[in-house]
Structure 1
Amino acid sequence: MGRMYGWVAAGLLAGVAQPALAQEADAPSKDSGDIVVTARFRNENLQDVPIAVSVVNGDVAASRNLNTLQDLSTVIPTVDFRNGQSNKDRTVFIRGVGTITTSPGVESSVSTVIDGVVLVRPGQATLDLLDLDHLEVLRGPQGTLFGKNASAGVINLVTKAPSKVQTETLEAGYYEGGEGRIKASVSGPITSTIGYALSGLYASYKGNVFNAGTGHKVNGYDRWGLRGKIVARPNDDVTITFAGDYLYNRDNTPQGVYVSSSRIAYPTGVVTPNATLAGLLAQEGITPSANNKRVNTNFDSEVRDRNYGGSITLDWRLGGGYTLTSITAYREWKNHQTPDWDTRAILATGFPQGRDDGTVDFDQFSQEIRLASPQGGLVDYVVGAYLLAADTYERYQRSVTQLIGGAPVTNNGVANYGISAQNHALFGEANLHATDALTFIAGGRLIHDSLSYFHQRVSDTATGVSGIRPSFASSGKTDRVDYSARAGVQYKLASNANTYFTFSRGYKGPAYNVFFNMQAFDTQPLAPETSTSYEIGLKGSLFGGRVSGGIAAYVTNYDGYQANFADTYLGAIVTRLINAGKVQTKGIEADLNARPTDRLTLNFAVARTDARIKHFNCPAATTCTSIDNQPLPFAPDWKLSGGAAWKLPITDGLAIELQTDASYKSRTQYAITQTPDTIQPAYGIWNASIALIGDEHWELRALVKNILDQHYANTLAYGTTAGVVRYVPRDNDRYVGLNARIRY
């Protein structure tokens, strides 16, 4: 309790703000305080966009050691993140809604877009945010303009453009616990009409979990990557952008760290201890606890990812204010994971051991063409067409050894499966400016989805063993024509304030539950997930833009909600992707940015979210306890984030910057089954830094993360065969670090 009081005091001292997280673009000028976003495929002032949007500056995020979507979710109250052993298992949530699954046959409720290119698989978006200019989080259904799904929202990442003058930047950081990062970038003109930007990154982290079985630190990573961009302007009307990137990641996240050897039933609260597991863990030197950071496995789990691709973007100003944009892109994602299935070292009766080995081979091709009309007239609009083709091939094998009659018996299974998906769409959105103050908004997206799958599993056992089902083969195909839509009204209360109301219909296409242990009842396609959303908002600024902010209230109802539901098979946990039924998320969000002086910036953001299961459809062949009116997983009732930055000049070219930020998250249920032992209690994190800045050419910053040493889990789940496990975040413990940047 004392630490929580300390956190509250820290938040008040911080001025309840996120330091300089907003992106201030070149037009309008930075002096105006305006924040420019591309949420509607145009450069617009954030205060004029009738959408709830959060914006994060890439340079500031990097200086605070926020390098992935998982990290950034700690400073954006409307966003949450589910960790997992592999990128296949990691998920982003907006307003309490996301899609938890490893099946390649399902889309994410949250669409991630990089420089206009939709990333189809969630695993493509969980690596390092290399060369990020800024990030926009568009909250609520956004399928009218963005991509093929976005029934819960969009994360729109914009990478840096070439600079107008030759610039070289070198950045390095080292942090307690054996984490280091180095990034180099060069940017500038090649000729008077061609510019380039090239950046490279290497980062590594030893980890904060100890594997007693191998003697290694785990839960760490090694990453390196390159990103390049060439922008050619052959004349005043044409801009062509060639972009490419390659990102490699190797991490050794264990498949859970034991929190408890017992389990607590829902809704009775009855505790079922497991003396056998407790004894085995004791022999392995493991003491389960809420802050356990020790495992004992036969080998270190490992995941390797390669993410790469390229795009060509054409912007052609046709005359009369019209702009034609074409984005052609191709991407691949390769994933290889070798997890320790049982997360333990000792083979015992009723506690089998297993080793998994899985690969993902994914590619996608997309083509988008859109036409934007001139602005300022009675009507302005964006219309376009979209094409996507995506193919996934996966191979997953599992070896499980059991003690039978005192002797070890090993069974093996291997599955080859994949999907082929095509998406075609026509879309558009228009604004009717009835008066200088009143605007009506209407848009829609007509969507055709085609999805097919194949699956073939061969196993040694005819009756199935823990973790391996018998041999199975199946294939199927489904087609769907559907739509997304938006309608609304926006009213300008004054030159610096406006209000809006929108109705949106979101859509996420049909799905198949294609995975290693696929069963006969998985062969039927899941119905699409649709959403209807009502949102009202107010945005404005005061004192020449020195104070700005907004507030939004919303209600979103989901039908056919696609969710993973935990089940058991021969004593092992399995999950089933189902149309879970009807859910609702509603809430109020607010943010405030203030610049009282040129030396001081303050920001604050808060989200009050009420995300509930309105009616749950128990899947066939399963006995369910009612979870109606219970919270959705990863949907805390409250999240707050705030901080301050104060720049103190020493000489004309030298300054000190003091920076602090704090965040708070209320108790959070991590499992849709509502089990009491998968609830993370409320916690708060306080960070701070001090920097010496030299005339914008160099910076040296010392930082401390999690000052109050608050321990928490970013995922809690049931272990494979028994007990409860957690995933350990990077800032589970206090640590210090040093960042340096030199710009020529």
Structure 2
Amino acid sequence: MNANRLFALLATTCLSAAMPAFAQDAPPPVTATDAPGDTQDGEIVVTARFRNESLQQVPIAITAISGSSLAERQLNTVETISAAIPSVGFRSGASNKDRTIFIRGIGTITTSPGVEPSVSTVLDGVVLTRPGQSTLDLGEVERIEVLRGPQGTLFGKNASAGVVNIVTRNPTDDFHAFGEAGATTDQDYRIKAGVSGAIVPGKLQALIGGLYSDFDGNTRNATTGNDTNGSRRYGVRGKLVATPVDALKLTLIGDYLNTYETVAPVYASTRQVAYPTGIVSVSAPLAAVLANAGVRPSAGNRVAATNIDTNVRDENYGGSLTAELAIGEYRVTSITAWRQWLNHQQQDYDGLPTLTAAFPQGIDDGRVDSEQFSQELRLASPRGGLIDYVVGAYYLHAKTDEVYARTLTSLAGTVQTTTNGVADYGITDDNYALFGEANINFTKAFRGIAGYRSTWDDLSFYHLRTSSADPTNSGAPALDRPGIRAYHRAQGSTDRRGDSYRLGLQLDLGARAQTYFTYSRGYKGPAYNVYFNMRSLNATTPLDELPLSPETSNSFEIGLKGSTADRALSYSLAAYTTTFDGYQANFADVVNGAQVTRLINAGSVRSRGVEADVTLRPAKGFTVDLSGAYTDAKVRDFLCPPGAPVSCNVDGQPLPYAPRVKLYENAAYRFALSDALAFELQSDVTFSSKVQYSLSETANTIQPAYAIWNASVALVRPADGWQLRAYVKNITDTSYASFLAPGTFAGTVRFVPRDDRRYGGLLLRKDF
């Protein structure tokens, strides 16, 4: 479908629907203060359905965390919020292009640019298409909303498992400034500051803020002698809000973030355990190499030995223009956005410092250039009639180009052979959609919910791989090396259309409680498996690059939300069951002695469970937040890819990143020491039952159950905006892995989380 025709059609529809409103009173003003995040009777207001609604009234399982709470607990990235929301998981990786978010045990793990994540990350109304873009530092935010379950009706095709909605801080009419500085006992430093105010009072407001952080890391490379697993970030975000007339608000946003990281795995063990036989393979050559380098593999190991420090340089930036126009009681919203993501990673392929006959040595160098342009247009009707609705159209053009090079040296006797392989590949995706969602208000307290989205995808890829072992570009399999395959060239395209929809009922149980039941169908479009080490039947015939079918889901959810009149108790309960067909997943395999992954339609999987969020306020200044999730996420019917071993039958086994039980508790008590000074005690605990990190179900990739306990104390001067907080993370000094995986050739490696050991910190905040 032509994009211009699509938007012309929608614009005509929107204006036609709005015309009767001109006979009404003057349109309500669209002001800079008319923003989500304000409160109604002390309740959080969210935009989960593109309207300002009370969190307790939205018929969706949703958690919202305020920006102030994120800052106080030093939850500065999407990865760190997974500790505070039990239904959320996060997959670590050496490069942020390999990382992704999971909700209710569902997420998409891949290094291929030809597939979108199952969990959508939305930044100020703009959908981020690549998983790596969502690993950004949050900066100064108003709040984060996490919507659980399929949200494709309003948020699009890459929201089949849920949405992480990031809402950044808005400028104010009054002059306002903030500054934040933090330091930890293990040399993690962070500074954040900004100013906000009116350029033209009532008409033009601006905010600009920046951040800088530096952390050497909590692991060490014995070969180079450097600290690793660290990061350095700096960035800036600016907002301009103009209200030239009462009925029109324009918001211009620009942001830039530069990141440098040295995240690398360390060896947890020299063994691997086969599934389903349980046969243990211990690698004596690996044990010898690690021992000579001074590395002792263990569940708490924090020492690696590689020829280079694995590193990634990342630039993530973009801009958007949001226009909100009130026409009578209707509101038209347009969001025009452009973003670019540049990623350059260097990795030690073999993860070892020494060349031996058993293990080749390799260095990887990869570059990603991803660019997207999107346009969204929607119309929201007034509330209170028989039917109120949001309808809209969406267009996305996304292009990702990657160049990945590997230099591999092998040893046979005394002869060294070096092979160079380079892969040049990428995708282009054009996505079009028409969508809408409506409430049918049967009575003031009882309503129906109906939503629909029609999605069109045009997806194409190209791939060219060359190898110095195949100088004539013959593509002969005999010229394959353990980590480098012979010449290959392929390209292809596919186009599909799919449907997402939601149906439901919602009943208000008095003024402060409601219950709902929804059925949702999720849809994620076609995909291509395109990456460095692709398999082929010959020089030009692909084996791994055949198009993947769309992923669809069917979800049933029932929920109950409410609070007491004095808000001493607030609660949200949800039970759900979701089945995914055509599940797009990475499957680990071994080809020519080296670990590879294949993006496949893995068959059918199911996630079902119960979630609860409870807030207690037993006394003034005393708040207790309790959250829990019971998740039963399993493979129903796995489709083994061609050439995979018989052991790939994983029917009935748990999905990765889906602990059966995950709990979170946060308690804070603030009381006055004097008229001007308050003191706060705070403590939080996260518990996770054991979790499998691999779809291949190997026993060595299971993280046992663990709990992390944090606490802080703070002195607060509310009148002048001062806060000084001292905190301790991981009080019990518990070691765990954020990701476990087979080593490139043998053994098991683990990724070390930021809070893998106990550390303390100080945080100073001033709001002017």
TM-score by length of 1: 0.95
| Pair 1:249 & 2:259 matched | yes
Q: Are the equivalent residues in 2 in contact too, given 1:53–1:139 (CA < 8 A)?
A: yes
Corresponding position of 1:726:
750
Shift of 1:69: 0.9
CA distance in 1, matches of 2:415, 2:293: 21
Aligned pairs for 1:359-438 (under 5 A) are 359-438=367-446
Quick one: which amino acid aligns to residue 653 of structure 2?
Q
Corresponding position of 2:152:
143
Provide Cα deviations, 1:192-213, integer angstroms capped at 9, x if missing partner.
2111111000001010111010
Corresponding position of 2:210:
200
Corresponding position of 1:455:
463
CA distance in 2, matches of 1:238, 1:87: 38
CA distance in 1, matches of 2:488, 2:132: 27
Corresponding position of 2:17:
none
Q: Are the equivalent residues in 2 in contact too, given 1:33–1:546 (CA < 8 A)?
A: no
Aligned pair partner of 1:86 in 89, 95, 104: 95
Corresponding position of 1:621:
643
Aligned pairs for 1:142-161 (under 5 A) are 142-161=151-170
CA distance in 1, matches of 2:464, 2:333: 42
- Structure 1 unpaired stretches of 5+: 1-23
CA distance in 1, matches of 2:200, 2:376: 29
Secondary structure of 1:566's match?
strand
Q: Are the equivalent residues in 2 in contact too, given 1:148–1:423 (CA < 8 A)?
A: no
Shift of 1:28: 3.4
Corresponding position of 1:518:
534
CA distance in 1, matches of 2:490, 2:274: 35
CA distance in 2, matches of 1:543, 1:447: 43
Q: Which is worse superposed, 483-492 or 457-466?
A: 457-466
Quick one: which amino acid aligns to residue 484 of structure 2?
I
Aligned pairs for 1:144-293 (under 5 A) are 144-192=153-201, 193-254=203-264, 256-293=265-302
| Pair 1:694 & 2:704 matched | no
Pairwise CA RMSD: 1.0
CA distance in 2, matches of 1:523, 1:274: 33
Q: Which is worse superposed, 519-528 or 556-565?
A: 519-528
Aligned pair partner of 2:701 in 665, 672, 678: 678
Secondary structure of 2:531's match?
coil
| Pair 1:476 & 2:475 matched | no
Q: Which is worse superposed, 656-665 or 692-701?
A: 692-701
CA distance in 2, matches of 1:275, 1:27: 61
Corresponding position of 2:658:
635
Corresponding position of 1:7:
none
Q: Are the equivalent residues in 2 in contact too, given 1:442–1:487 (CA < 8 A)?
A: yes
CA distance in 1, matches of 2:680, 2:36: 22
Q: Are the equivalent residues in 2 in contact too, given 1:417–1:455 (CA < 8 A)?
A: yes
Secondary structure of 2:112's match?
coil
Corresponding position of 1:646:
669
Q: Are the equivalent residues in 2 in contact too, given 1:249–1:305 (CA < 8 A)?
A: yes
Secondary structure of 1:394's match?
strand
Corresponding position of 1:740:
764
CA distance in 2, matches of 1:736, 1:57: 23
Quick one: which amino acid aligns to residue 86 of structure 2?
P
Q: Are the equivalent residues in 2 in contact too, given 1:199–1:228 (CA < 8 A)?
A: yes
Aligned pairs for 1:293-332 (under 5 A) are 293-319=302-328, 321-332=329-340
Shift of 1:25: 6.5
CA distance in 1, matches of 2:718, 2:66: 20
Shift of 1:268: 2.0
Corresponding position of 2:105:
96
CA distance in 2, matches of 1:157, 1:391: 23
Secondary structure of 2:138's match?
coil
- Structure 2 unpaired stretches of 5+: 1-34, 471-478, 536-541
CA distance in 1, matches of 2:39, 2:296: 57
CA distance in 2, matches of 1:230, 1:292: 48
Q: Which has the higher contact order (CA 8 A, sep 6+)?
A: 1
Quick one: which amino acid aligns to residue 659 of structure 1?
Q
CA distance in 2, matches of 1:33, 1:551: 20
Q: Are the equivalent residues in 2 in contact too, given 1:331–1:364 (CA < 8 A)?
A: yes
Taking only the aligned residue pairs, the percentage that are identical comes to 54
The 1:26–1:330 alpha-carbon spacing in structure 2 relative to 1, beyond 3 Å, is closer
Aligned pair partner of 1:663 in 661, 686, 694: 686
Corresponding position of 1:16:
none
CA distance in 2, matches of 1:553, 1:456: 47
Q: Are the equivalent residues in 1 in contact too, given 2:36–2:52 (CA < 8 A)?
A: no
Quick one: which amino acid aligns to residue 300 of structure 2?
N
Q: Are the equivalent residues in 1 in contact too, given 2:500–2:520 (CA < 8 A)?
A: yes
Quick one: which amino acid aligns to residue 543 of structure 1?
A
CA distance in 2, matches of 1:298, 1:25: 50
Quick one: which amino acid aligns to residue 547 of structure 2?
P
Shift of 1:273: 1.1
CA distance in 2, matches of 1:523, 1:273: 34
| Pair 1:707 & 2:715 matched | no
Shift of 1:147: 2.9
Number of positions where the alignment pairs a residue of Structure 1 with one of Structure 2: 717
Q: Are the equivalent residues in 2 in contact too, given 1:585–1:609 (CA < 8 A)?
A: yes
Aligned pair partner of 2:72 in 48, 56, 63: 63
Q: Are the equivalent residues in 1 in contact too, given 2:285–2:358 (CA < 8 A)?
A: no
CA distance in 1, matches of 2:170, 2:136: 20
Quick one: which amino acid aligns to residue 451 of structure 2?
G
Secondary structure of 1:630's match?
coil
Secondary structure of 1:543's match?
coil
Secondary structure of 1:279's match?
helix
Provide Cα deviations, 1:341-376, integer angstroms capped at 9, x if missing partner.
111101101201000000001100000000000001
Aligned pair partner of 1:591 in 613, 632, 636: 613
TM-score by length of 2: 0.92
Corresponding position of 1:577:
599
Corresponding position of 2:27:
none
CA distance in 2, matches of 1:714, 1:149: 24
CA distance in 2, matches of 1:57, 1:332: 27
Provide Cα deviations, 1:147-191, integer angstroms capped at 9, x if missing partner.
332010000000000023101111000012110000111011111
Shift of 1:546: 2.6
Secondary structure of 1:59's match?
helix
Secondary structure of 2:318's match?
strand
Quick one: which amino acid aligns to residue 318 of structure 2?
G
Shift of 1:406: 1.9
CA distance in 1, matches of 2:583, 2:334: 33
Quick one: which amino acid aligns to residue 245 of structure 1?
D
The runs of at least 4 aligned residues of structure 1 exceeding 3 Å deviation read: 24-29
Shift of 1:26: 5.9
Q: Are the equivalent residues in 2 in contact too, given 1:93–1:634 (CA < 8 A)?
A: yes
Corresponding position of 2:39:
28
Shift of 1:236: 1.1
CA distance in 1, matches of 2:534, 2:138: 34
Corresponding position of 2:52:
43
Quick one: which amino acid aligns to residue 652 of structure 1?
D
Provide Cα deviations, 1:590-640, integer angstroms capped at 9, x if missing partner.
010122233111111000000000010000111232210000000000000
Q: Are the equivalent residues in 2 in contact too, given 1:705–1:731 (CA < 8 A)?
A: yes
Corresponding position of 1:544:
566
| Pair 1:554 & 2:576 matched | yes
| Pair 1:489 & 2:505 matched | yes
Aligned pairs for 1:560-571 (under 5 A) are 560-571=582-593
Q: Which is worse superposed, 666-675 or 63-72?
A: 63-72
Corresponding position of 1:500:
516
Q: Which is worse superposed, 683-692 or 55-64?
A: 55-64
| Pair 1:132 & 2:155 matched | no
Quick one: which amino acid aligns to residue 437 of structure 1?
A
Secondary structure of 1:428's match?
strand
Q: Are the equivalent residues in 1 in contact too, given 2:512–2:565 (CA < 8 A)?
A: no
